[in-house]
Amino acid sequence: MEQKVTFRQVKQEVLARIRANIWAPGTLLPGEIDLAAEFGCARATVSRAMRELTDEGIIERRRKAGTRVKMAPVRQVKFEIPLLRVEIESTGAAYRYALVSREVVDAPDWLRARLALPQGARVLHLECMHYADNAPFQFEDRWINLSAVPEAEAADFTTDNPNEWLVRAVPFSDAAVRFSATAATEALGRFLSVSPNSPLFTVDRTTWISGQAVTNARLYHTTGYEMVALY
């Protein structure tokens, strides 16, 4: 029985031709009917492959003008954000976690605006420290929406760090990540063993599940931290 050609195979062949400069930037590609005949598959299979390549910024499709390879294809960047324990232990260092503070409060105005929460929404506010070989590595300032994750209120975060707990409890569907440099306050300086006003690599991450905000975390890293981007 002849094996069916999949849209992934069509996509990979189109990509291979673009990367080999067989179809150079700006080239008008054959139509979907012609490609379907060449690959021996349904037009719908080609259409799905081309749609993914369009979404990834490799080609552009215009009605009545056809499909062309983009002059400057977009390279999608993927940031590798592993579990902190895994990240630290992968360097050969010992990981240690400590809960600094924990409180249930009404969401402050800035957080309600960020997460689209109603007035009086209850949130769990956690401040935590993460260490590599007992040296400060990251200070975590996290807010958890208790209407989305009510079980978090009873969770024991004295031993279980909140990021690992959330990964197990609530597989998020969407995320927004911001990167910045933040001047260390006196308090952050004490936690991270840096001088006040020292620049700290900061990650601000918000996650949602099915449109409902789950958590917002600001992660402050000590001097020398690097994040890897893959593209």
CATH number at residue 191: 3.40.1410.10
- Overall domain count for the chain: 2
CB 63 within 8 A of CB 54: no
Better-predicted residue by pLDDT, 217 or 172: 217
- Tell me the CATH number at 49: 1.10.10.10
Could you tell me if residue 183 is inside a domain? Answer: yes
Residue at 190 is within a domain: yes
pTM for the whole thing?
0.68
Judgement on whether residues 34 and 116 belong to the same structural domain of the protein? no
Above 80 in pLDDT, residue 160? yes
CA-to-CA distance for 192 and 183, rounded, in angstroms?
12
Nearest CA to 94 among 85, 102, 107, 103?
85
| 171 and 198 part of one domain | yes
Rounded-to-integer distance, Cα 203 and Cα 160, Å: 21
Residues 189, 87: one domain?
yes
The last residue of a domain, from among 69, 97, 121: 69
Report yes or no on 1 lying in a domain.
no
Residue range 188-228, pLDDT digits in tens = 999 999 999 999 999 999 998 878 899 999 999 998 888 77
Same domain, 153 and 221: yes
**pLDDT tier at 55, thresholds 50, 70, 90:** confident
Q: Which domain holds residue 34?
A: 7-69
The pLDDT mean for the chain works out to: 90
Q: Are residues 24 and 100 in the same domain?
A: no
